[in-house]
Structure 1
Amino acid sequence: MKAIIIGCGIAGPAMALALQKIGVQAVIYEAREAADDTQGAFLGISPNGLNILREYVALEEVMADSTPGKIRFFNARNKAIGVIDNAEQASRYGSETIQVKRGLLNGSLRRAAERAGIAIEFGKRLVAIGQREGTVTVSFADGSTAEGDLLIGCDGIHSAVRRAVFPNAPEPQYTGLLSTGGFTRPDFAVPADSIRMTFGERGFFGYAVSTHGEVWWFNNIAQKTAPQRHELNQSELADLKKRLVALHRNDPEPIVPIIERAHSIEIYPIYDIPFLDQWHQGGVCLIGDAAHATAPHIGQGASLALEDTLVLAQCIRDCADLQAAFARFQSLRQARVQAIIRQARKVGDTKTVPNRFQQFFRDLLLPFFVKLEARKMDWVYGYRVDWHKKLI
C-alpha cells in the first residue's frame, strides 16, 4: 500500500515511520514552503508520549534542550499553594515528563523520517480530496496531484483534511484564553528546579529554566472573544511586552524582568475541537489534533498524537481492510482522548481570573486537588502500546 500523509509537524513524520514498520510506503506533503525548526514555542511530553517517541528517535536528541517537568504553584502573593512532583515517574512509567522546544521535536522526527528514506514534499497546500475504487487523490494549490491507497490527516487543529472530508464538522472552539510563549536569556537569578506557575493578579504565568540556561515562559490571558489567528511579527513585539508587563506588574519577581528581557514571543488563541463522531471516511483517517485537539493545559496534545501513530499502524497491520482498521482505531482511542480533553478543559477553567472569594478557596483547595489528580494520572501516563500483540 501507498499512504499519503498531510502535515509534517509532529504526527506526520511519526506516522510515516510507524507505517514503515508494517511495510507501508508513505509520502508526506506539507503546506509550508520549507522546514523551519525555529517556529513555535515549547510543549510538554509526558511518559506516555515519550515511550512512543523512543520508537522513532533517540530521546537524548530531543532532550538536549529541555526543562524539568516538576511543577510548583504560587498565588499572586508568591505563596506556595501546590506541587506536582515527578520524581517517581521514571521508575513507574519508564520516562519522566519534560518540556521541549516544538521545533527541536519537529526537526528530530523529520530527520528520522528522511534517514529512513521517507519522501517529504514542501509547498503542498491541500485544496481537494477525491475518492474512487479504493484510491484517494489529492489536489494541491500548485496544480499538482498525488494518489494513494489511503490518506492520513496529520495537519493539526485547523486541518484542511478534516474540512475537505467532513465539511459539516464543527469548527475548533475558542476556549476563552490567549496564550503567549516566550524565551528569555536572563542576566539575573531564576529558580531552576521546576516549572513555576503563578496564578497572578490578572493572569496566569509559568516559567522554567532549560538545560541551556534559557528561560522558557508562557502566559494565559482570559479574553472572552477570539482574536484573529496570526503569528506575532517583530514589529509587534514591543507592544506585546508592554501589554504583558502591565498585566503582571503586581505579580511576584522575576516575572516582569523575564517578560522585559524576552528575545522571542509568540501569541495565539487556545482552541479545542468539539468531539467528532467520525474520524474517518473511505480511505481517509484523521489523527492527532486533526481528530481530537486538546487545549495545552495538561501537556497531552503531542503525546496523544504520538500514541495515535502506533495504534493506527497496528490496526492497519492486523485488520482485514482499511475500513475495519480505521473503525478499530477510533474505537480504541476515542474514549481515552475525550476523557483527557475534558480534563484539559477543567484545568483551563482554573486559569481564568476569579474574584477574591473564589481565589481564597482556590488557594485553600489546590494542594489537595493536585495531589488527587496526580494519583489519578496512572491511566494517562502508564498507557502502553503492545506492538507485538495482535489485535485480531
Structure 2
Amino acid sequence: MKAIIIGCGIAGPAMALALKKIDIQSVIYEAKPDTDDEKGAFLGISPNGLNVLKQYVALDEVLTEYTPGKIRFFNSRNKAIGVIDNADQISRYGSQTVQIKRSLLNSSLRKAAQRADIRVEFGKYLVSVVQNEENGIVTAHFADGSTAEGDLLIGCDGIHSVVRQKLFPDAPKPEYTGLLSTAGTSNLANFSLPTDAIHMTFGERGFFAYAVSNHGEVWWFNNIAQTTEPSRQALNRSEKADLTERLLALHRNDPEPIAATIRAAHSIEIYPIYDIPFLPEWHQGRICLIGDAAHATAPHIGQGASLALEDTLVLAQCIRDFADLSTAFTHFQSLRQARVQAIIQQARKVGDSKTVPNRFQQFFRDLLLPLFVRLEARKMEWVYGYQVDWHRKLV
C-alpha cells in the first residue's frame, strides 16, 4: 500500500513513520515552498506525547533546546497563588513535560522520516481530492498542476485543513475562542530569572508567561482577551513595533521582568486561538483526518502536539489490525474521539480563566486558584498516563 500524507508539520512525518512500522510507504506533500525551520514559536509536550515521540526519534535530538514544564502562578501584584509541579512525572509516566521550539520538533521528525526513505515534497498546495471507487485509488491534485496517487490519504494539515474542507465542506469551522496569543524570545542581561519553572502571571489587563531555556534564552507568551475575531490579513500586517507598544500598554502596571522581556524581544508573533469543539466525522472512504485537522484544541494545557502524536500510533495500529480501511478509520475515531473532546473542553475552560475579570472576580480567582490548580493537576493523570500498547491486537 502507498499513502499520501498532506502536511509536513508534526503529525505528517510522525504519521509516515508510524505507517512505516506496518510496511506502508508514504509520500508527504507540504504546501509551503520550503522547510521554514527558523519560524514558529514553542509548545508544550507532555509525557503522553513524549512517549510516542521517542518511538520515532531519539529525544536527545529534540531536547537540545527546552524549558521546564513546572508552572508557578502569580497575580498582578506578583504574589504566588499556585504551582503545578512535575517532579514525579518520570517515575510515574516515563517522561517529563517540557516546552520545546516547534521548528525543532518539526525538523527532527521530518529528518527522521527522510532517513527512513520517506519522500517529502514542498510547494504542493492541495486543491482537490478524488476517490475512485472502482480501483480504490485516491488522487490528490495540487495547485502547480501535479497529481499524486495512493491507496489512502491522511490529512495532517492542521486546524485550517484543506483536506477537511474538501472532504466535509459543510462541517463545523474552527471557532475563535476570544483570545489572541503573542509569543517571542528575548535575552535579558540585567535580571536574575528563575530557571526551574514557567512563570505565569494573571496581569491586571492580560495574561503573561515566561520561562528560561537551557541556553539562557527567555521564551514568553501573552494572551489578550479580544471579543472580535481579527482577520488573518490584519494580523499578518502587524509590525513588531506596534505589537511591542500594544503589549507594553497592556502590562504597564504588571511586575517586571514582563516589560523588559517584551522590549528585548528578537521578534513577536501574534495569532488568534481557535479550536474545533466537535467534528462528527473524521473520515470518508479512503481518506482520514488526524491531529488538529480533526480535533484542534486551544494550547492552554499543552496537548495539541501530544494528541496528534497519539493519533499517529493509534491509526497505524487500526490499519494494521482491521481488514479494510473503512473499518480501521471508524475504529480509530471511536478510540480517540471521547478523549480528545474532553481535552478540548478542558483547554477551553482554562483559556476562559485568562480573560480579565473585574476586581471582585480577581479576588476570588486568587483565593481559589491553588485549590483549582490541585484539582486540575489530578485531572491530568488520565491525560499524561495515556499509553498505546502497540503489541496488543485490536481484533
TM-score range normalised by the length of the shorter chain = over 0.9
**Counterpart in 2 of 1:384?**
387
Q: Write the mapping of 1:20-39 to structure 2, written as runs, cut at 5 A.
A: 20-39=20-39
User: What is the rounded CA distance, in whole Å, between the counterparts of 1:210 and 1:230 in structure 2?
Assistant: 32
**Counterpart in 2 of 1:146?**
148
**Counterpart in 1 of 2:262?**
259
User: What is the rounded CA distance, in whole Å, between the counterparts of 1:272 and 1:230 in structure 2?
Assistant: 19
User: What is the rounded CA distance, in whole Å, between the counterparts of 1:127 and 1:159 in structure 2?
Assistant: 11
**Counterpart in 1 of 2:177?**
175
**Counterpart in 1 of 2:125?**
125
Say if 1:231 and 1:268, in contact at 8 Å, map to a contact too.
no
SS at match of 1:111: helix
Q: Write the mapping of 1:130-209 to structure 2, written as runs, cut at 5 A.
A: 130-133=130-133, 134-189=136-191, 190-209=193-212
User: What is the rounded CA distance, in whole Å, between the counterparts of 2:36 and 2:234 in structure 1?
Assistant: 14
After superposition, give the CA deviation of every residue in 1:7-51 in whole Å (9 maximum; x if it has no partner): 000000000000000000100000000001111100000000000
User: What is the rounded CA distance, in whole Å, between the counterparts of 1:234 and 1:90 in structure 2?
Assistant: 43
- Report deviation, 1:170: 1.0
User: What is the rounded CA distance, in whole Å, between the counterparts of 1:129 and 1:225 in structure 2?
Assistant: 34
SS at match of 1:186: coil
TM-score normalised to structure 2 length? 0.98
SS at match of 2:216: coil
- Report deviation, 1:372: 1.1
**Counterpart in 2 of 1:351?**
354
- 5+ long unaligned stretches in structure 1: none
Say if 1:232 and 1:265, in contact at 8 Å, map to a contact too.
no
**Counterpart in 1 of 2:75?**
75
User: What is the rounded CA distance, in whole Å, between the counterparts of 1:106 and 1:75 in structure 2?
Assistant: 34
Say if 2:277 and 2:344, in contact at 8 Å, map to a contact too.
no
Indicate the RMSD between aligned Cα atoms, in angstroms: 1.1
- Report deviation, 1:274: 2.9
- Report deviation, 1:375: 1.4
**1:376 is aligned with what amino acid?**
K
User: What is the rounded CA distance, in whole Å, between the counterparts of 1:301 and 1:230 in structure 2?
Assistant: 24
**1:343 is aligned with what amino acid?**
Q
**Counterpart in 1 of 2:331?**
328
Say if 1:71 and 1:195, in contact at 8 Å, map to a contact too.
yes
Q: Report the more deviating stretch, 217-226 or 55-64.
A: 55-64
* Stretches (4+) displaced over 6 A: 231-235
**2:359 is aligned with what amino acid?**
R
**Counterpart in 1 of 2:368?**
365
- Report deviation, 1:234: 9.1
Say yes or no: does 1:216 pair with 2:219: yes
TM-score normalised to structure 1 length? 0.99
After superposition, give the CA deviation of every residue in 1:190-239 in whole Å (9 maximum; x if it has no partner): 22121000000000000000011100000000000111125966970011
Q: How many matched pairs?
A: 392
SS at match of 1:212: coil
Q: Write the mapping of 1:269-308 to structure 2, written as runs, cut at 5 A.
A: 269-308=272-311
